[in-house]
Amino acid sequence: MKILVIVRQTPDTEAKIQANSSGNGIQTDDIKWILNPFDEFAVEEAVQIKEKTGAEVVVLTVGAERSVDAIRTSLAMGGDSGVHIKDDSFADMDSFALGKVIGSKIKSLGDIDLILAGKKWIDEESSQVPIQVAEELDIPQATLATKVEVDEGSKTVKVTSVIEGGEEIRELKLPAVVTVEQGINEPRYASLPGIMKAKKKPCEEVGVDGINSDEIGIAADALGSAGSRVKTDNIEIPTISRSLKVLEGNDVQQASAELAKLLREEAKII
C-alpha cells in the first residue's frame, strides 16, 4: 500500500505579517516558516496506518527552496520519501492551478492508494487544493475526517466525520483523497534520531524549465498566475486601534444610554 501526504510550508502562527512592496503579497524575509499545523495530523495519520499495514508514505509539497523543510519535518515524523515540486513557474498559483500541478505529478508516481491532507492551509485559509487534486485524478474524496479506517482486502477506506447532531460515515473505493480534521490524532514530535534519518531519506526535486512542462505532463499556460483563476491584486494588513473611555457618574440609566450611543455611533457594533 502506498500513501501520499500533501503538505505545505506556512508562516509561523506567531509571525508578524506585512505586505510586500508591490502590495500583492507578503514580505517573506525574516519570517519563521513551519509545517502547516493541520498537515501534521495528516502526516501522523499516514504514519499510523504505515505502522499497522507496512504501507509506504510519500510526502509531497509545492514551493520555494525553503519548502523542503516541511518535507524533512514530515520524514522525521516517519515518512519514507519526499517529492518537492519547485520552480519559479509555480509561483502565485491558486488552488485550481495547484491542484493540476500536484495531480499531474501524482499520476507519474504510479499506484497511490490513499492521498491524505490537512483540512486547510492556515496562510490562505484554503481547503480546496486536495479537492482539486481529487477532481484532477477523477477519484472519490471525503473531508474533515475524524477517523480513517483502511481495508486493504476490499481496497476501501471508511471515513468518519463529525456533523451537526452526529457523525457521517462514508466508505470510498481506493484510490481516494481524504482531508483530516484537527484532533484525529496526536502528532508526534520529530525525535533527534528521526531528524537524522530524515536527512538520508530520498527527496525528489521536480521542476520545469520555462515552457517545457513535459516532466509533469501539463501545459505551461496551466502554471503560475497564467493558469490561475483567482489572482491577487492587493493585500492590506488591517490596523487595530484601541481607545478607552470612562463613563463617570452614579446615574446608571444615563451611563447606559451614553454607552449605547458610543457603541452605535463610534464603535458601530449595534
Strands 166-173 and 156-163: antiparallel
C-alpha cell at 137: 485524478
pLDDT confidence of residue 246: 83
Mean model confidence pLDDT for the chain: 88
Q: Are strands 176-180 and 9-11 parallel, antiparallel or unpaired?
A: unpaired
Burial (Cβ within 10 Å: 0-12, 13-18, ≥19) of residue 127: middle
pLDDT reported for residue 210: 35
Q: What percent of the chain has pLDDT over 90?
A: 55
pLDDT at 216: 64
Name all domains of the chain by residue range, CATH numbers in brackets: 2-227 (3.40.50.620), 240-270 (no CATH)
pLDDT of residue 245: 81
Q: Residue 22's pLDDT is what?
A: 77
Q: What is the structure's pLDDT at 37?
A: 96
Sorted by sequence, the CB contacts under 8 Å of residue 237 that are 6+ apart come out as 17, 18, 19
Quote the pLDDT of residue 191: 87
Spatial separation of the C-alpha atoms in residues 51 and 266, rounded to whole Å: 58
pTM for this model (two decimals): 0.83
Residue-level pLDDT at 212: 44
Chunked into runs of 10 residues, the chain (270 residues) has average pLDDT values of: 96 81 76 94 98 97 92 97 85 85 90 96 89 96 97 97 94 98 94 92 78 59 77 79 79 87 83
Per-residue pLDDT tens for 78-92?
Answer: 999 999 998 776 777
> For 184, which DSSP code?
S
pLDDT for res 217: 66
**At which residue does the C-alpha cell 493540476 appear?**
100
